[in-house]
């Protein structure tokens, strides 16, 4: 008995203290993975805040963006040009989604819009593979996947640049939504479509903006993940990990999406490396969901979500 | 205002609206004059809310025209109508329930914030000044409606009567030329109705805002309005000062048809 308790509560921490450089490496790895989750979750939050739509297709948007980028580069286009075109494609996609999916369904129940995004999910998945093929592709954006040593810690150059890019992106978004009037308009649209229209908020413009931003975030996420593990269908499954992140951070909170992603990323890596051997591994696969379950039970609005107000 | 063009603020010309086989409005014409309080009354299903929705751009008429300040505005979208200076409230209260009362009123001023919203991010100074100016105006509305004590309360938590008042506040925050109120006193007790009547009269008196409202309480209608339009089965059956409309046999018939036999 004492041995088991020791293995759970003392052993792992002794291991951590014993090799701090390795611990930092694990933490960095976790932060990088977490950042990925954050980016996908961020796309969810933006769309959910602005339109009350739970966008099931966010993960596929990541895949679609990465596929488009790789597809263009495979055809000999330089990185910068391919990136610009991919951005244009994602913005065009936002216009198209507003026109074809959202506008006809205005004022419908949330569940109907959700179903529509499931349709969108299948469409984008099929369309992406139709255009660019279904085999695994290598994404090389010109940043070498090399590591260097710093203070005894191995640091991956690709992961670091990706993290820096993501941080800049998040900063820009924060400024955009907080300093501009659009932040308040977004919340208004999320709350009540009719009322938002009546005070002069053009719903269509807001939707195109948030879906475009979600598309751009998807590109960044797609590049990060694609450069690490290749562009393939499983990319869209990252979205499944974004779900517990949303539950943790709160569906309506941008900082929540970021912090939630990082917590999940770091938590599952630490769990896997230090506690994994005790249970034969694979902690990484279920850690996020267990955390989400605990949150659903005790704090359903998440860490930063708005309190759920229900008038009875 | 000396610069205001002559003629009525809003003209509805022979407007018809159809929902499938149902003719919700049938060639309805009316004018709303500057500075007036106009009541639109009629039995349930007469087309009152439809008329309000047509004026505010939520529905577009199948026939007829809407003129605002003399210009044809028939096919504008709701945000465009709002930009012209038309604010409205809804029958079932459409507040931003998760936001505080203050934030609800601030959203009412979105249209009053000049410049392009993307530029807000680049020039912090002007945006900040604007925010303060708008905040000052909203505080005036809050004082006016006597809702100081609930300014931080989430709108969704307020009792119904106060929600209606906040919704009026959000409309006022936009400094509208024309204010459309869909049953502003529905579901209120006598005291709340008196308060609301007073606010409506004060808005009209102090700011000169033109108001069109739908109301069922005939006592209120007779007390506060300058003119009454009566709808029945989508047609206009009377239009005139309240004391005249009250005695109109056609109106009495529409309202009390059963007892008249």
- Structural domains in chain A? 2-298 (1.10.3470)
Q: How far apart are CA B86 and CA B55, in angstroms?
A: 9
With CB atoms and an 8 Å threshold, state whether B79 touches A203. Answer: yes
Q: Which residues contact A240 (CB under 8 A, 6 or more apart)?
A: A59
3-class SS string, chain A: CHHHHHHHHHHHHHHHHHCHHHHHHHHHHHHHHHHHHHHHHHHHHHHHHHHCCCCCCHHHHHHHHHHHHHHHHHCCCCHHHHHHHHHHHHHHHHHHHHHHHHHHHCCCCHHHHHHHHHHHHHHHHHHHHHHHCCCCECCCCCCCCCEEEECCEEEEHHHHHHHHHHHHHHHHHHHHHHHCCHHHHHHHHHHCHHHHHHCCCCHHHHHHHHHHHHHHHHHHHHHHHHHHHCECHHHHHHHHHHHHHHHHHCCCCHHHHHHHHHHHHHHHHHHHHHHHHHHCCCHHHHHHHHHHHHHHHHCCCCCCCCCCCCCC
Residues B157 and B182 in one domain: no
A103 touches chain B (CB under 8 A): no
3-state secondary structure chain B: CCCCCCCCCEEEEEEEEEECCEEEEEEEEEEECCCCEEEEECCCCCCHHHHHHHHCCCCCCCEEEEEECCEECCCCCHHHHHHHCEEECCCCCCCCCCCEHHHHHHHCCHHHCCCCHHHHCCCHHHHHHHHHHHHHHHHHHHHHCCCHHHCCCEHHHCCHHHHHHHHHHHHHHCCCCEEEEECCCCCCCHHHHHHHHHHHHHHHHHHCCEEEEECCCHHHHHHHCCEEEEEECCEEEEEECHHHHHHCHHHHHHHHHHHHC
Locate the chain A residue with the closest alpha carbon to B154.
A309
Please give the residue that has the higher pLDDT: either A252 or B259: A252
> Which is higher by pLDDT, A192 or B105?
B105
Task: Say whether both B114 and B166 belong to one domain.
Answer: yes
Chain B's closest residue to A190, CA to CA, is: B96
Average pLDDT over residues A213-232: 83
Average pLDDT for B202-215: 91
Burial class (CB in 10 A: 0-12, 13-18, 19+), B257: exposed
Q: Are residues B135 and B75 in the same domain?
A: no
Model pLDDT, residue A174: 73
Summary mean pLDDT of chain B = 86
Q: Which residues of B touch A (CB under 8 A)?
A: 56, 58, 77-79, 82-83, 87-88, 90, 94-99, 103, 106-108, 110-111, 113, 117-118, 120-121, 124, 127, 154, 156-157, 170-171, 174
What distance in Å separates the CA atoms of residue B119 and residue B97, rounded to the nearest whole number? Answer: 29
Residues of chain A neighbouring B94 (CB-CB closer than 8 A)? 192, 194-195, 198
Q: Do B97 and A181 touch (CB under 8 A)?
A: no
Average pLDDT over residues B101-112: 86
For tokens 């500075």, the residue is B35
pLDDT 10s digits, A242-260 = 888 888 887 777 778 888 8
Say how far apart CA A90 and CA A53 lie, in whole Å. 18
Provide the pLDDT confidence category of residue B225 given band limits of 50, 70 and 90. very high
What is the mean pLDDT of the segment spanning B228-238? 90
Q: Which residues pair with B235 in a beta bridge?
A: B232
Most B CBs within 10 Å, among A182, A195, A250, to test the B interface: A195
Kindly report which listed range (A72-81, A290-299, A300-309, B110-119) carries the lowest average pLDDT score.
B110-119
Give the span between the Cα atoms of A253 and A165, in whole angstroms. 21
Split at pLDDT 50, 70, 90, the class of B1 is very low
Q: Report the pLDDT averaged over residues B244-257.
A: 82
Q: Specify if B90 maps to a domain.
A: no
Count of domains in chain B? Answer: 2
- Which percentage of chain B shows pLDDT scores above 90? 40
Who has greater pLDDT, B261 or A249? A249
- Write down the pLDDT at residue B29: 92
> Does the residue B10 lie in any domain?
yes
As beta bridge partners, residue B16 has B63
Task: Note the pLDDT of residue B258.
Answer: 47
pLDDT number for residue B117: 55
pLDDT at B99: 84
Q: Which residue of B has its CA nearest to A209?
A: B118
Integer Rg of chain B from CA: 19
Q: Is residue B111 part of a domain?
A: yes
Q: What is the pLDDT of residue B2?
A: 47
Q: Is the dihedral of CA A67, A69, A70, A71 positive or negative?
A: positive
A35-81 confidence digits (pLDDT tens): 888 888 888 888 887 777 888 888 888 888 888 888 888 888 888 88
Percentage of chain A beyond pLDDT 70 is 94
pLDDT value of residue B257: 62
Burial A53-70 (b: 16+ CB within 10 A, else e): bbbbbbbbbbbbbbbbbb
pLDDT at residue number B38: 94
> Could you tell me if B126 and B14 lie in one domain?
no
Partners of B212 in the β-ladder: B38, B180
Contacts of A60 (CB under 8 A, 6+ apart): A120, A121, A124, A125, A128, A236, A239
Is residue B151 one of the residues assigned to a domain?
yes
> Which residues from chain A sit within 8 angstroms of residue B87, using beta carbons?
198-199
Same domain, B56 and B111: no
Is the per-residue pLDDT at A295 higher than 90? no
- Two tokens, residue A74: 């495979």
Chain segment B25-65, per-residue pLDDT in tens? 989 999 999 999 999 998 888 889 999 999 999 999 999 99
Report whether pLDDT(B134) > 50: yes
Judged by a CB distance cut-off of 8 A, whether residue A18 touches chain B is: no
Q: Are B100 and B151 in contact (CB under 8 A)?
A: yes
How many inter-chain contacts (A to B, CB under 8 Å) are there?
93
Show which of B129, B153, B175 is a domain's final residue: B175
B124 in any annotated domain: yes
Residue B23: pLDDT over 50:
yes
Q: Do B113 and A181 touch (CB under 8 A)?
A: yes
- A148 beta partners: A155
The pLDDT assigned to B50 comes to 92
Region B78-100: mean pLDDT is 89
Chain centroid to Cα A17, Å, comes to: 32
Among residues B175, B202, B222, the one where a domain terminates is B175
> Residue B122 has what pLDDT?
57
Q: Are residues B64 and B24 in the same domain?
A: yes
- The total number of residues shown for chain A amounts to 312
- B164 and B191 housed in the same domain: no
pLDDT tens profile A172-219 = 877 777 666 777 788 788 778 888 888 888 888 888 888 888 898 888
Same domain membership, residue B196 and residue B256: yes
Cα-Cα-Cα-Cα dihedral sign, residues B44, B46, B48, B53? positive
Q: Is A22 exposed, middle or buried (0-12, 13-18, 19+ CB in 10 A)?
A: middle
Q: Which residue has the higher pLDDT, A278 or A122?
A: A122
User: Angle B160-173/B124-144 helices, nearest 10 degrees?
Assistant: 130
Q: Under a CB-based contact definition with an 8 Å cutoff, are residues A145 and B68 in contact? A: no
Of B133, B151, B175, the last residue of a domain is B175
Distance CA A31, CA A166 (A): 12
Q: What is the pLDDT of residue A306?
A: 63
CA distance, residue B80 to nearest chain A CA (Å): 7
- pLDDT higher than 50, residue B123: yes
Domain that holds residue B149: 96-175
* Residues in chain B within 8 Å Cβ distance of A106: none
State chain A's mean pLDDT as an integer: 81
Least confident of A153-162, A204-213, B198-207: A153-162
Q: How far is it, in rounded angstroms, from Cα B179 to Cα B34?
A: 11
Neighboring chain A residues of B60 at a CB cutoff of 8 Å: none
User: Cα–Cα distances in Å, from B196 out to B39, B92, B153?
Assistant: 15, 16, 20
Instruction: Please state the rounded mean pLDDT for residues B252-259.
Output: 68
Residue from the list A201, A202, A306 with its beta carbon closest to the beta carbon of B98: A306
Instruction: Examine residue B91 and state whether it is found in any structural domain, yes or no.
Output: no
Average pLDDT score over residue span B126-135: 78
For residues B127 and B137, membership in a common domain is answered with: yes
**Torsion region of A111: left, alpha or beta (phi above 0 gives left; psi -120 to 50 gives alpha):** alpha
Contacts of B191 (CB under 8 A, 6+ apart): none
Residues B119 and B62 in one domain: no
A270 pLDDT above the threshold of 70: yes
- pLDDT of B125 reads 64
Residue B113 sits in the same domain as residue B74? no
Q: How far apart are CA B149 and CA B158, in angstroms?
A: 12
- Chain A residues in contact with B170 by the CB 8 A cut-off are 195, 199
Q: A44 near A238, Cβ under 8 Å?
A: no
Nearest-CB residue to B156 (from A180, A181, A309): A309
Q: What's the whole-model pTM score?
A: 0.75
Same domain for B2 and B80: yes
Q: What is the mean pLDDT of residues A272-293?
A: 81
Model ipTM over 0.95: no
Which carries the bigger pLDDT value, residue B88 or residue A279? B88
The CATH number of residue B55's host domain is: 3.40.50.300
Tell me, what's the pLDDT at B31?
Answer: 92
**Do residue B79 and residue A195 have CB atoms under 8 angstroms apart?**
no
Which of B79, B87, B104 is most worth mutating to test chain A (most A CB atoms within 10 A of its CB)?
B79
Share of chain A above pLDDT 90, in %: 3
Q: For residue B261, what pLDDT band results from cuts at 50, 70 and 90?
A: very low
């Amino acid at each position: 008995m004492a041995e088991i308790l020791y293995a759970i509560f003392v052993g792992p921490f002794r291991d951590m203290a014993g090799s701090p450089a390795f611990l930092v490496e694990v933490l960095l790895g976790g932060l990088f993975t977490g950042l990925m989750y954050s980016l996908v979750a961020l796309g969810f939050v933006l769309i959910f805040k602005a339109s009350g739509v739970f966008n099931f297709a966010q993960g596929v948007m990541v895949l679609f963006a990465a596929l488009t980028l790789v597809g263009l580069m495979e055809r000999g286009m330089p990185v910068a040009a391919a990136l610009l075109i991919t951005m244009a494609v994602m913005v065009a996609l936002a216009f198209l989604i507003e026109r074809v999916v959202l506008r006809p369904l205005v004022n419908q129940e949330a569940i109907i819009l959700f179903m529509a995004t499931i349709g969108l999910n299948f469409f984008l998945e099929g369309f992406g593979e139709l255009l660019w093929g279904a085999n695994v592709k290598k994404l090389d954006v010109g940043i070498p996947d090399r590591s260097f040593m710093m203070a005894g810690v191995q640091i991956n150059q690709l992961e670091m640049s990706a993290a820096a890019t993501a941080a800049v992106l998040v900063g820009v978004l924060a400024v955009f939504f907080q300093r501009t009037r659009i932040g308040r308009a977004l919340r208004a649209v999320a709350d009540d479509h009719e009322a938002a229209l009546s005070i002069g908020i053009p719903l269509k413009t807001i939707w195109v903006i948030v879906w475009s931003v979600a598309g751009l975030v998807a590109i960044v996420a797609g590049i990060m993940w694609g450069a690490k593990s290749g562009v393939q269908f499983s990319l869209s499954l990252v979205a499944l990990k974004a779900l517990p992140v949303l539950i943790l951070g709160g569906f309506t909170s941008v900082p929540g999406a970021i912090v939630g992603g990082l917590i999940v990323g770091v938590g599952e890596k630490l769990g896997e490396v230090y506690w994994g051997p005790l249970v034969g591994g694979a902690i990484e696969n279920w850690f996020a969901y267990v955390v989400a379950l605990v949150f659903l039970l005790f704090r359903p609005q998440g860490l930063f979500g708005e309190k759920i107000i229900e008038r009875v | 205002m000396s610069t205001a063009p002559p003629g009525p603020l809003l003209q509805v010309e022979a407007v018809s609206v159809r929902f499938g086989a149902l003719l919700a409005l049938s060639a309805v014409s009316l004018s709303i004059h500057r500075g007036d309080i106009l009541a639109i009354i009629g039995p349930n299903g007469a087309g009152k809310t439809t008329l309000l929705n047509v004026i505010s751009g939520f529905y577009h008429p199948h026939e007829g025209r809407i003129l605002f300040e003399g210009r044809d505005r028939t096919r504008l979208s709701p945000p465009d109508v709002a930009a012209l200076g038309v604010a409205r409230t809804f029958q079932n209260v459409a507040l931003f329930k998760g936001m505080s009362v203050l934030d609800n009123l601030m959203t009412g001023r979105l249209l009053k914030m000049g410049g392009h919203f993307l530029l807000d991010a680049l020039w912090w100074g002007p945006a900040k000044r604007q925010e303060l100016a708008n905040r000052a105006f909203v505080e005036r509305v809050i004082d006016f409606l006597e809702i100081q004590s609930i300014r931080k309360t989430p709108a969704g938590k307020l009792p119904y009567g106060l929600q209606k008042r906040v919704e009026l506040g959000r409309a006022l925050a936009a400094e509208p030329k024309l204010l459309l109120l869909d049953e502003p006193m529905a579901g209120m007790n006598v005291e709340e109705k008196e308060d609301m009547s007073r606010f409506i009269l004060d808005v009209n008196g102090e700011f000169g805002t033109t108001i069109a409202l739908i109301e069922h309480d005939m006592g209120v209608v007779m007390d506060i309005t300058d003119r009454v339009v009566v709808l029945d089965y989508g047609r206009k059956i009377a239009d005139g000062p309240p004391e005249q409309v009250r005695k109109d046999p056609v109106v009495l018939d529409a309202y009390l048809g059963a007892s008249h036999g």
